[in-house]
Amino acid sequence: MSTRPSETALPRSGIAVKDLTVTYRNGHTALTDVSFEIPIGTITALVGVNGSGKSTLFKAIMGFVPLARGSVSILGEPSGRARNRNAVAYVPQAEEVDWNFPVLVEDVVMMGRYGHMNMFRIASRRDRELVGTALDRVGMADFRKRQIGELSGGQKKRVFLARALAQEGRVILLDEPFTGVDVTTEEAIVQLLRDLREEGRVMLVSTHNLGSVPEFCDRAILVNRTLLAAGPTEEVFTRANLERAFGGVLRHFVLGGTDLHDDADTRQVTVITDDERPFVFYGEEGVDGAASRSSPSAPDAPSGRRDEDAGSGVSGN
Ligand SMILES: Nc1ncnc2c1ncn2[C@@H]1O[C@H](COP(=O)(O)OP(=O)(O)OP(=O)(O)O)[C@@H](O)[C@H]1O
């Protein structure tokens, strides 16, 4: 039976991680036996407590840290080969960037083109066009001559996203792109990620905004030094899995009974948050929230019972 060329040319797997273990030079094993697969044309959330190994996973995919065991393949080929042809773009956490380095916004975005240039790094017309298009797409064209260090946190994030776009990477890794950005910027970034998904790209996004994950991520990966769960968001984002992932660091509120109702309605609202956007479950008392919705804002002080001692294994911080 013959296979059409397009079927062989287009890999279906975006990122495939198999039995990955990462041990740092000081002997600390940050991730053990992690395996998952992400299809192309999807956005996947990477969720876990501080220190659970999210950045380590990004660094392993980028080849910045050696793998003690296991393998990473990207778009159906070994990760090193995919990186060499600039298929993978990385948007680091803000803390990992030296903002005092005197460089213009347009130069930062041009860095995304370096891998496509020869050793003299002379930008072609196409390189300049791609930089302009990328800045337009993130709404930062008016800032192209500004020093990167003079921008706000959200603007810096958008510039680094533009750098990833200019690189034309099919796979984009974003390490906490929403930290320190306002809601408008977050919505703009989410819309851009949706557009990129439509273009058939693959995005892996680490975030503490639990509430926004079901809004825009098709899939989710929960980690805590190993893989806890991976798959479609509606299957992974269950109350039981989130409690397993966040254990004692989540704030967990349950509103029910007379706090919520004037009648005998037994339905209750459970709010789970690590102090960014909360994740909200609606349902019957004692039923794990398979059906869920998210709330757009963090509750400063919900009027209900704080469920620290309710035997759920979850406590406030
Ligand atoms: N260069 C390093 N050398 C040794 N240990 C490291 C190194 N980088 C990270 N670690 C450790 O590996 C573990 C995972 O760190 P990592 O930065 O991957 O976590 P994270 O999930 O990204 O955390 P956060 O949400 O705070 O960004 C932590 O215990 C951390 O202290």
Would you give the DSSP letter of residue 94? G
Cα dist from 48 to 28, 63, 220, 244, whole Å: 18, 21, 11, 10
Work out the pLDDT band at 27, boundaries 50, 70, 90.
Answer: very high
Mutate to test the pocket of ligand 1, among 21, 55, 208, 276 (most ligand atoms within 8 A of CB): 55
Q: Is the pLDDT of residue 229 over 90?
A: yes
Highest mean pLDDT range out of 36-50, 246-260, 302-316? 36-50
Structure confidence by residue, pLDDT tens digits, 267-299: 667 766 665 666 776 665 443 443 344 443 333
Q: List, chain by chain if needed, residues with CB within 6 Å of any ligand 1 atom.
A: 24, 26, 28, 30, 48, 50-56
Q: Are 96 and 179 in contact (CB under 8 A)?
A: no
CATH architecture entry for 5-87+169-237: 3-Layer(aba) Sandwich (3.40)
Structure confidence by residue, pLDDT tens digits, 141-184: 999 999 998 998 889 999 999 999 999 999 999 999 988 888 88
**Structure tokens, 309:** 């001692």
Q: Is the pLDDT of residue 239 over 90?
A: no
pTM listed for this prediction: 0.80
Section 200-226 average pLDDT: 94
Half-sphere exposure of 23 (CA within 13 A, CB side): 7
Q: Whose CA is nearest to atom 25 of ligand 1?
A: 50
| ipTM > 0.95 (yes/no) | yes
| Residue 61 to residue 72: CA distance in whole angstroms | 6
Q: Whose CA is nearest to atom 26 of ligand 1?
A: 50
- Across the chain, where does the E strand assignment appear? 13-23, 29-39, 42-47, 69-74, 77-78, 88-91, 171-175, 202-206, 219-223, 227-232, 251-255, 267-273, 279-284, 292-294, 305-306
Counting residues of the chain whose pLDDT is more than 70, the rounded percentage is 75
Mutate to test the pocket of ligand 1, among 23, 54, 64 (most ligand atoms within 8 A of CB): 54
Q: Is 297 helix (H, G, I), strand (E, B) or coil?
A: coil
What's the CA-to-centroid distance between 55 and ligand 1, angstroms? 7
Q: Whose CA is nearest to atom 31 of ligand 1?
A: 51
Index of the ligand 1 atom closest to the CA of residue 56: 18
What's the CA-to-centroid distance between 65 and ligand 1, angstroms? 12
Q: Whose CA is nearest to atom 7 of ligand 1?
A: 24
More confident residue, 41 or 314: 41
Rg from Cα positions in the chain: 21
Q: Whose CA is nearest to atom 19 of ligand 1?
A: 51
Can you give the pLDDT at residue 257?
A: 63
- Strands 69-74 and 77-78 turn out to be antiparallel
What's the CA-to-centroid distance between 53 and ligand 1, angstroms? 6
Which sequence spans correspond to the domains of the chain? 5-87+169-237, 99-165, 242-306
Q: Whose CA is nearest to atom 11 of ligand 1?
A: 30
Q: Is the pLDDT of residue 62 over 80?
A: yes
**Structure tokens, 283:** 């349902």
Mutate to test the pocket of ligand 1, among 20, 52, 61 (most ligand atoms within 8 A of CB): 52
More confident residue, 250 or 129: 129
Work out the pLDDT band at 260, boundaries 50, 70, 90.
Answer: low
Q: Is the pLDDT of residue 303 over 50?
A: no
Can you give the pLDDT at residue 313?
A: 28
